[in-house]
Amino acid sequence: MSDGVLDPAEPRALFRCCPRCGVALASTRANPLVCGACGFAYFFNPAVSAAGILLRGDGRALFIRRGHDPGKGALALVGGFVDAGERPEDALCREVREEVGVELTAVTYLSSLPNRYPYRGVTYHVADLVFTARIVDGAAARALDGVAAVEWHDPRTLDPASLAFASMRLALETFQRLGGG
């Protein structure tokens, strides 16, 4: 949203009628969106994701090359969306298993950052929760679901500008500022 005008990619701009009763909505600018006819209310809250700076014993971290848009081919932290009823730490462990096939230990919260995630014509607002973790067996890492390649980098010296998303760049800067590891 800029200057009070909804960006067509904003999720609330897609609501023209009430999802419950079908009546045309007078406005989609408010949060929550409220139907004047039936009282249905819908909050446009961010989705939640979990990502990690995944360290092996020598201090290097596992990064991926994204296999799909947004950011196809770009370097990124491993992670993904948190499912309803799932703890973010558990979501990170699940996403890491699905994307690179490794197990984690010592999952520790690092930072939370806002993000915008464009997908199929809609720009989702996301609260990215970033963790650090230790990889149980780094030799097992391989490119799986949605991953073009896996790469090992020293996260203390990696240029944050090389990462796909602004939130990941800021998380890496936080990691570096705190002394990394």
Token couple for 66: 């994204």
pLDDT at residue 86, rounded to an integer: 97
CA 65 to chain centre: 15
pLDDT at residue 46, rounded to an integer: 92
For residues 58-93, b (16+ Cβ closer than 10 Å) or e, as one string?
A: eebbbbbbbbeeebeebbbbbbbebeeeeebbebbb
pLDDT at residue 9, rounded to an integer: 67
Question: Judging by beta carbons within 10 Å of its beta carbon (0-12, 13-18, 19+), is residue 113 exposed, middle or buried?
Answer: buried
pLDDT at residue 4, rounded to an integer: 52
pLDDT at residue 138, rounded to an integer: 79
Q: Residue 114 and residue 57: Cα distance in Å, rounded?
A: 30
The amino acid present at 77, given as its one-letter code, is L
From first to last of its 181 residues, the chain has per-residue pLDDT tens of 445 555 766 888 888 899 999 999 988 778 888 999 999 999 989 999 999 999 999 999 999 999 998 989 999 999 999 999 999 999 999 999 999 999 999 999 999 999 999 888 888 999 999 999 999 987 899 999 899 999 999 999 999 999 999 999 999 999 999 987 6
List the alpha helices (DSSP H) in the chain. Answer: 88-100, 166-177
pLDDT at residue 56, rounded to an integer: 94
End-to-end CA distance of the chain: 38
pLDDT at residue 97, rounded to an integer: 96
Say what the pTM is. 0.86
| Domains of the chain, each with CATH number or no CATH | 1-44 (no CATH), 47-177 (3.90.79.10)
pLDDT at residue 8, rounded to an integer: 62
